[in-house]
Structure 1
Amino acid sequence: MPVQAGLEPITILSGQSLSASVHLHQQRLFGILMPAGWDAAALTFQASIDNTNFFDVYDDGGNVLTMQAAANRFIVIVSPLAYLGLQRIKVRSGTPSVAVAQTADRVLQLIPQA
């Protein structure tokens, strides 16, 4: 999938459930473009301020921040403030307790607010 201006690609490698980290450069995350071959799983996130120590992302109610995801879908983040302040993130296929390994490399496009 070609990278377009303003998009930040992130890959979950085959057999893995967690991507490498990506720096959001103080941009608000607006959406995620899902690949056509996505193996069914929700998306959750880890965050870091130093790119070394990563932590699962929870809301202030103690719930894992989760997005329902599916193949070939553009997910609009309705509450982008929930992601404000995240500097570096990793995207997980599945949840912290039930990670889902993808069966091929999956490239997701992280889309910042324009």
Structure 2
Amino acid sequence: MLRSQDRPFEVAKASAVIASGGSLSAAVDLGGLHAIGIIMPAAWTAAGLTFSVSVDGENFADLYAPDGTEYALVVVAAHHVYLDLGIFAGFNSIKFRSGTGSVPVNQAAERTLTIVSRSL
């Protein structure tokens, strides 16, 4: 777990693992930090990235934009993806999904995404 008091004003990293044949990672507890980026793994079965978020780490819901569409990012292997701080503000835990809630895309092998976070 990342915690802001452990690394004030520093960048911290955590891993989100999507199992082989799966599409959804386990929860990543941000520990009071703010997600600012995702480093994609060197291999990635082509799919967008969507999110399930929680304020308490137990009750998760898919993240939707104000226009009613599921919030999604276009991602590719071995790239760093910038995250808008406003999108994830207020959420303490995030799950990462390959594909969408209605059309998940199973990964061909285990994939580890690196979540970059920092205190503000």
TM-score computed with the length of structure 2 as normaliser = 0.84
Instruction: Tell me, in whole angstroms, the C-alpha distance in 2 between the residues paired with 1:96 and 1:11.
Output: 17
Matched, 1:80 2:85: yes
User: Which of residues 19, 24, 40 is equivalent to 1:13?
Assistant: 19
Query: What is the DSSP-based 3-state SS (H/G/I as helix, E as strand, rest coil) of the residue aligned with 1:81?
Result: helix
Instruction: Tell me, in whole angstroms, the C-alpha distance in 2 between the residues paired with 1:52 and 1:76.
Output: 26
Cα root mean square deviation, aligned: 1.4
Instruction: Tell me, in whole angstroms, the C-alpha distance in 2 between the residues paired with 1:94 and 1:41.
Output: 5
Give the partner amino acid of 2:27.
S
Deviates further, 5-14 or 97-106: 5-14
Instruction: Tell me by how many angstroms 1:32 deviates.
Output: 0.3
User: Which of residues 109, 112, 117 is equivalent to 1:112?
Assistant: 117
Instruction: Tell me, in whole angstroms, the C-alpha distance in 2 between the residues paired with 1:6 and 1:34.
Output: 16
Give the partner amino acid of 2:29.
H
Give the partner amino acid of 1:56.
D
User: Which of residues 98, 101, 105 is equivalent to 2:103?
Assistant: 98
Number of corresponding residues: 109
Determine the structure 1 residue equivalent to 2:60. Answer: 54
Instruction: Tell me by how many angstroms 1:62 deviates.
Output: 1.4
Judge conservation of contact 1:26–1:85 (CA < 8 Å) in 2. Answer: no
Judge conservation of contact 1:14–1:101 (CA < 8 Å) in 2. Answer: yes
Quick one: percent identity of the two aligned structures? 39
Instruction: Tell me by how many angstroms 1:15 deviates.
Output: 0.5
Instruction: Tell me by how many angstroms 1:90 deviates.
Output: 0.5
Give the partner amino acid of 1:64.
E
Q: Which runs of 4+ in 1 moved over 6 A?
A: none
TM-score computed with the length of structure 1 as normaliser = 0.89
User: Which of residues 28, 39, 47 is equivalent to 1:41?
Assistant: 47
